[in-house]
């Protein structure tokens, strides 16, 4: 198990080096790399927000009380 963790860590270090070489090779490459990272972070954050809201809704909690209250006749 430790061997697998060491290999994953080593590959992550190599990945950072490869991405650095690509980003420093051309200014357009750096812009595209940053733009792709931004889109990925935004979509991952949005998905996490939606999953957290669904989980809170499923257990009966409210996500900060955002939304309208029910009409008076429904109470």
Per the model's pLDDT, the better-predicted residue between 1 and 30 turns out to be 30
Name which of 4-8, 18-22, 27-31, 55-59 the model is least confident about: 55-59
User: Would you place residue 22 in the very low, low, confident or very high pLDDT band (cuts 50, 70, 90)?
Assistant: confident
Work out the number of other CB atoms within 10 angstroms of the CB of residue 61: 10
How far apart CA 17 and CA 53 sit, in angstroms, is 37
Q: pLDDT tens across 24-63, in order?
A: 888 899 899 999 999 999 999 999 999 998 888 888 765 5
| Domain layout of the chain by residue ranges | 10-58
């Amino acid at each position: 198990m430790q061997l697998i963790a060491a290999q994953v860590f080593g590959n992550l270090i190599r990945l950072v080096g490869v991405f650095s070489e690509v980003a420093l090779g051309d200014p357009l490459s750096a812009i595209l790399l940053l733009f792709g990272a931004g889109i990925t972070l935004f979509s991952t954050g949005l998905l996490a927000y939606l999953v957290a809201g669904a989980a809170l809704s499923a257990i009966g909690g409210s996500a900060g009380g955002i939304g309208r209250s029910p009409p008076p006749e429904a109470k």
